[in-house]
Structure 1
Amino acid sequence: MSLQLIGAGWGRTGTVSLRSALAILGYTPHHMSEVFAHPEQAELFVQAADDPAFDWQRIYADYTATLDWPGCAFWRELADAYPEAKVLLTVRDPAQWFDSYSSTIYRPVALGWTDDPTGSWNDMARRVIVERSLGGEPHDRRQVIDAFRHHNAAVRATIAPERLLVHRVDQGWGPLCEFLGQPVPDQPFPHLNTRGTWE
């Protein structure tokens, strides 16, 4: 397999819903949930942070799409490594995004996941999310929102328009399926992992 779709959007921008949507469309998506299911991947993402020549097939050989962290922190590298892959940037209102981040993933990302016996996930979160994506500051509202905006602007400025879809999950199937050249499924677009149900 080879990546066909690179998700550049950060966590809490609808990536769980999109993981389900892409599976319906026939993709095999990688998401942070895969790192929990395969803890050895955490160490590989740390290696990737240190190695500009990292072989991405070591992680993505069995996947056709990637979403969420940790993959979105490497969107530039993945776009270069898989030049035929399209890029999907999921977005939402920055203030609403921060509120969702702070009430869900902030604690494990910024303060450490308590159920990490080897420390590999926490090391990955620090190196890949806190340092690469958040610029080393996961706490301050203004700085984190600024990092979110800067990231989205960088993706828009770097990826060719014909290769990029900027998408809000409330737009549903239409823009996503048109971008991917897929028929619209005869079922509702998934709406999963809301702030109130996140664990």
Structure 2
Amino acid sequence: MPPGIFAAELLDFYPGAKVVLNRRRDMDAWHRSLNEAAVTVLGSWGLWGLSWWDAELFWWYRSAVLWMGIMGKGEGGFQKNGKEWAERYYERLETKLRREGRKYLDWEVKDGWGPLCEFLGKEAPDEDFPWGNKGGNEFEKNANKALEKMVQRAVMRIAGTVVLIAAGVGGWSWSR
């Protein structure tokens, strides 16, 4: 279950926690990227079927369905409503934090170590910030690599099940 769904509850549960609002400032780019990924993943009946054969793929797929359902509530789905939902989401969190007098860091990955370490009261490491998604199709490459492993496991389980059933039917037929 994506923790962002419970952000307000997590803020209540951890009143002393330092809060980092990690967001993309270019909401158009964020929306476009997520929408393309969602169309690819959620538009695949094959992926849905395979998800029943691998626990990680099952929950990954269900998480995507859940997020797209929440962010895309209303006519037009995520494509029409997702960006507005995300903007309101951050506004609600900022309003809650300000109302409670809590400090928070409005941060984006491309800001790097500096503001993050300063906010957390830590020294910045002597290494470059680990950019997992450098833009372009980097996210797609990483997602596809993870997805490929999950799909391979599902296919192996299906193949194993088919072999087991075939052996059982063959053994039963031979014994008759």
TM-score range relative to shorter protein? 0.5 to 0.7
Show the counterpart of 2:129: 189
* 2:15 partner amino acid: P
Q: Secondary structure at the match of 2:19?
A: strand
Q: Return the match for 1:84 from 4, 10, 16.
A: 16
The equivalent residue for 1:99 is 32
Any residues of structure 2 matched to 1:64-143 within 5 Å, and which? 70-92=2-24, 93-108=26-41, 113-114=47-48, 115-117=50-52, 119-127=58-66, 129-135=67-73, 139-143=77-81
Residue aligned with 2:91, SS: helix
- Superimposed CA distance per residue, residues 91-123 of structure 1 (whole angstroms, 9 cap, x where no aligned partner): 221111111112334433576753411655444
Q: Output the CA distance in 1 between the equivalents of 2:43 and 2:75.
A: 9
Aligned counterparts of 1:157 and 1:111: Cα–Cα separation in 2: 38
CA gap 1:105/1:126 in 2 versus in 1, 3 angstroms = closer
Paired position in structure 2 for 1:156: 94
Higher helix share: 2
Cα distance change on mapping 1:134 and 1:142 into 2, 3 Å: closer
Unpaired runs of at least 5, structure 2 = 145-176
Amino acid at match of 2:52: P
Pair 72,179 (structure 1): closer, same or farther in 2 beyond 3 Å: same
Q: Give the conservation status (yes or no) of the 8 Å contact 2:71–2:78.
A: no
| Letter in structure 2 aligned against 1:192 | G
Cα 1:76–1:111 shift into 2, 3 Å: farther
Q: Percent identity?
A: 28
TM-score, scaled relative to structure 2 = 0.61
Q: Are the counterparts in 1 of residues 38 and 68 from structure 2 also a CA contact under 8 Å?
A: no
In structure 1, how many angstroms separate the alpha carbons of the residues matched to 2:43 and 2:77?
Answer: 7
> How many angstroms apart in 2 are the aligned matches of 1:111 and 1:139?
17
Query: How many residues end up aligned between the 2 structures?
Result: 130
Kept after mapping to 2: 8 A contact 1:87/1:165: yes
Say if 1:178 and 1:150 are closer, same or farther in 2 by CA, change over 3 A: same
What do residues 131-157 of structure 1 show as CA deviations (whole Å, max 9, x unaligned)?
Answer: 434436684533111111111111111
* Runs of at least 5 residues in structure 1 that lack an aligned partner in the other structure: 1-44, 46-69
Change (3 A) 1:179 1:136: farther
